[in-house]
Amino acid sequence: MHANNSGNQDGWGVLDPDGRIDPHAPALIALGRSAEALRGLHARLLSADLTLLGGRTVATMSAHVAVFTVAERICGSLRFSAGAAMEPNGAVALVAASYDALLARWDGSVLSGGATRLVVDGTCRGALVVSGDGTHSVGDVDGISPLVQFRGPTDPGDRLAVGTSVGNFRAFSTGTASVVLALGRGRSRVRRVERWFDDLGTALG
């Protein structure tokens, strides 16, 4: 068992201690001039294979209207997501549209969105997210419950790796929320989870 803090100095600073993105955060709005930059950010924070189909902002007399669409490859199949938003500022509108497409269903939680993808594509057999809003579980969570205590007084970016008789587990804390993953077999699956944790740690800033 071990715990560590990633402490990345090049953080985007777009993720809050509850593991959520605020679509009006200044660090995120700074990316709003580029739909491709927003695609890349969401791909890393959600551990998702995303292809940008379109990102456009149109100025009207009173506001800016933005549309953001992506294709996502999961287990050999394609899924499509689209979002739209109207905001006074063009960059804010594009960010809000990307949020609508990829994060609104998770109430902004990249922990829930990313963990669900890792289970659906077979990287993990189960996942449990614990936050101030309660718990979100997906897949087989046998053996995860004893690790929920990791949610306690932890620092943003803290990690935990545990091997037990029922499997191997990885956990990550954003400060007031945490995700615990039951890993599938294979080193490639472990590496993918570690890369996701790296990206989450960077996003915390």
- Per-residue pLDDT reduced to its tens digit, 137-175: 999 888 776 666 555 547 888 998 887 767 789 999 998
More confident site: 166 or 106: 106
| pTM for this prediction | 0.87
Give the pLDDT score at 7: 37
Confidence class for position 6, pLDDT limits 50, 70, 90 = very low
Of 160, 159, 151, 157, which Cα lies nearest the Cα of 174? 157
- Where exactly does CATH 3.30.450.270 map onto the chain? 110-204
CB atoms near residue 81 (< 10 Å): 20
Confidence class for position 131, pLDDT limits 50, 70, 90 = confident
CB atoms near residue 187 (< 10 Å): 7
Beta carbons of 108 and 99 less than 8 angstroms apart? yes
Residue 188 sits at φ, ψ, to 5 deg, of: -65, -35
Beta carbons of 21 and 14 less than 8 angstroms apart? yes
Q: How far is CA 77 from the centre of its chain?
A: 20
Q: Which of 3-12, 106-115, 185-194 has the lowest mean pLDDT?
A: 3-12
Give the pLDDT score at 11: 44
Confidence class for position 127, pLDDT limits 50, 70, 90 = very high
- Per-residue pLDDT reduced to its tens digit, 51-93: 999 999 999 999 999 999 999 998 888 999 999 999 999 999 9
- Interaxial angle between packed helices 187-204 and 110-120, expressed in degrees from 0 to 180 and rounded to the nearest 10: 170
Mean pLDDT score, 2-13:
45
Q: What is the mean pLDDT of the chain?
A: 86
Q: For the stretch 122-156, what's the b/e string if a residue is b when 16 or more beta carbons lie within 10 angstroms of its beta carbon?
A: ebbbbbbbbbeeeebbbbebebbeebeebbeebeb
In CATH terms, the superfamily for domain 110-204 is: PHY domain (3.30.450.270)
CATH topology of domain 26-102: Double Stranded RNA Binding Domain (3.30.160)
Residues, the chain, total?
A: 205
Q: Identity (one letter) of the amino acid at 86?
A: M
Q: Identity (one letter) of the amino acid at 104?
A: A
Q: What percent of the chain has pLDDT over 70?
A: 89
- Where exactly does CATH 3.30.160 map onto the chain? 26-102
Give the pLDDT score at 31: 84
